[in-house]
Amino acid sequence: MINVLHVLNGFEPGGVETQLLRILQGYDREKFHMDACIVGDRAGELAEDARQFGAKLFFCAKSPNLISFSRRIAAILENRDYHIVHSHFEGWSGAILRGARRAGVRVRVAQVHGFRAWPAQVDDALLLRSVRSAVSFWGRHWLRRYATHILAVSEAVARKRRLDRLGGPPVVLWTGGVDTETFCPDNTDTRAQPARPVILWVGALREVKRVDLHLQILLFVRKEVPQARLVLAGTGAQEGTLRNMAGHMGISDAVDFLGMRRDVPDLLRSAAVFVSCSEAEGLPTALLEAQAAGTPVVASDIDSHREALSEALHPYLFRHNDIRTAARNVIQLLNDPELRAGLGEKCRRFVEGRYDFRRQLGLLQTHYEDWVAAAKEHRAC
């Protein structure tokens, strides 16, 4: 039995947390046991899901003193037989894995999920600006020193973050993916002639996601397709601002703020088009889910979107802030049911072939087994 402890910032709704919950739900319980350690004192809205999947949750308080923080991690690990510590909390991974090394854990994994530069990753309110650079430096240094393996969620992340130049262990690509049985098309094809076509966004309402651009796109789209609606499923700091914007633009009656939802597969199946205007993504899980459900995507032209989208959708990418082109792409798809259906089929095949989560979870478990076996062999030598 291989025991794994995942470390993260909390089970709030988001791509990292969703992927980890899928791991906790689906891993091979005859070979593994997995728990989670939350950095901070807030478990998050989805923590109960992790408990229901059998994970024990630990908590470790943050500290701007990284040595003290790493000792806290070590104290949690001592007298517990974990073979692997897998950190998903990038800005603190160096200190986390230092603590794991101190506790004698031989397989220490740092997973890199996004594009944010190292100093920006430690922008927690706990830290004063004057100490952030020092924390970033030592976090980066300790990551190189104490990580035995680094996982990148996409080629775009590995390339942009120059992970191969960190000087630490080699970088392994592990994308995670989508449960293609849960996220699947509606065989009745109720989207063929929608009376009120839905433009959908699922995700956090944060500034980097640029959901404000969705409102501007809708404004242009409704000039050609007046029945079109924008549905936003998610929560975040920008919600109040977005509601005010919709009111000032006179489209409040055409925008639905749904909050966090657990029926995302149904929302995707009911949508005509999924739109993402994000400025930066690691691996955009929502785009994969949309394609798995057979919903075509119009998205900003960033590296991670290109990587995560079927080539059939690349013509529908738009330069960031090019609202008119984005709106034209949406209008074309809304007005052509046969085009949407054809693209949806291609998108579904693309995700099944490359991002099926069961296949990706099997790959991760194989990595775990190989790494633990190598660590035991190295110890024997």
CA dihedral for 54, 58, 64, 68, sign (positive or negative): negative
Residue 138 lies in a domain: yes
**371 shares its domain with 350:** no
pLDDT at 44: 87
Domain assignment present for 191: no
Q: How confident is the model over 60-86, as a mean pLDDT? A: 91
My answer on whether 202 and 221 are in the same domain is yes
Residue 99 host element (H or E): helix 93-102
Co-location of 348 and 362 in the same domain = no
- Same-domain pairing of 84 and 214: no
Looking at the domain assignment, is residue 183 inside a domain? no
Contact 299, 347 (CB under 8 A): no
Please report which confidence band the pLDDT of residue 381 belongs to, taking 50, 70 and 90 as the band edges.
Answer: low
Residue 189 resides in a domain: no
> Going by DSSP bridges, is the β-strand pair 107-112/273-276 parallel, antiparallel, or unpaired?
unpaired
The answer to whether residues 205 and 70 belong to one domain is no
CA 3 to centroid of chain Cα atoms: 24
Same domain, 349 and 364: no
Domain encompassing residue 233? 198-354
Residue 91 in this model has a pLDDT that exceeds 80: no
Predicted confidence (pLDDT) per residue in 229-266, tens digit: 999 999 889 999 999 999 999 999 999 999 989 899 99
Structure letter (DSSP) for residue 183: S
> What CATH number did the domain enclosing 218 receive?
3.40.50.2000
Distance of alpha carbon 19 from alpha carbon 21, whole angstroms: 5
Whether residue 240 is found in the same domain as residue 300:
yes
- Is the same domain home to 160 and 219? no
pLDDT at 120 over 60: no
Has residue 123 got a pLDDT over 60? no
224 & 246 share domain: yes
Q: Does residue 291 sit within a domain? A: yes
Predicted pLDDT of residue 121: 45
Asked if the model's pLDDT at residue 134 lies above 70, the reply is no
pLDDT score, position 117: 43
Residue 192 falls within a domain, yes or no? no
Asked if 302 and 148 touch (Cβ cutoff 8 Å), the reply is no
Task: Answer yes or no: do 148 and 233 share one domain.
Answer: no
> 291-340: per-residue pLDDT in tens?
999 999 999 999 999 999 999 999 999 998 899 999 999 999 999 999 99
Both 206 and 295 in one domain: the answer is yes
Residue 145 Cα distances to 72, 217, 311, angstroms: 19, 47, 39
The percentage of the chain sitting over the pLDDT mark of 70, rounded to a whole number, equals: 88
Instruction: Using pLDDT thresholds of 50, 70 and 90, give the confidence band for residue 12.
Output: confident
Res 142 pLDDT > 60: yes
Looking at the structure of the chain, the number of domains it has is 2
Residues 301 and 159 in one domain: no
